[in-house]
C-alpha cells in the first residue's frame, strides 16, 4: 500500500529530515525482515515512509 501524494504535501516538518529518517528506517526494515515487511510485499521504503509520516516511530538527529 502506498501513500497518497496529497498526504505528503501536508507534512509540516523538515523535508530533508523526513527523507533521511525514511531512508534510515527503510534500511533497518530491509535488514530486520520483520513480518510487517512481508505484509507490505517487501516494500520497505513505502512502509518506512508511512511509519515516519504517521509518527509510529520517533527520530532525531544530533
Where along the chain do its domains lie? Answer: 5-53
Q: What is the mean pLDDT of residues 38-46?
A: 90
Distances (CA, A) of 8 to 4, 13, 33, 34, 35: 7, 10, 25, 25, 25
pTM, rounded to two decimals: 0.81
Residues 6+ apart with CB under 8 A from 62: none
Going by pLDDT thresholds of 50, 70 and 90, the confidence category of residue 1 is low
How high is the pLDDT of residue 27? Answer: 96
How high is the pLDDT of residue 24? Answer: 95
| Mean pLDDT taken over the chain | 86
Q: Count Cβ neighbours within 10 Å for each residue of 9-31 and write b for 16 or more, e otherwise.
A: eeeeeeeeebeebbeebbeebee
Contact 22, 52 (CB under 8 A): yes
How high is the pLDDT of residue 2? Answer: 61
Amino acid at each position: 500500500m502506498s501513500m497518497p501524494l496529497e498526504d505528503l504535501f501536508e507534512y509540516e516538518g523538515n523535508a530533508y529530515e523526513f527523507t533521511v529518517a525514511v531512508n534510515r528506517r527503510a534500511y533497518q526494515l530491509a535488514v530486520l525482515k520483520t513480518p510487517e515487511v512481508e505484509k507490505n510485499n517487501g516494500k520497505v521504503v513505502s512502509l518506512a515512509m508511512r511509519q515516519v509520516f504517521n509518527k509510529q516511530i520517533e527520530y532525531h538527529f544530533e
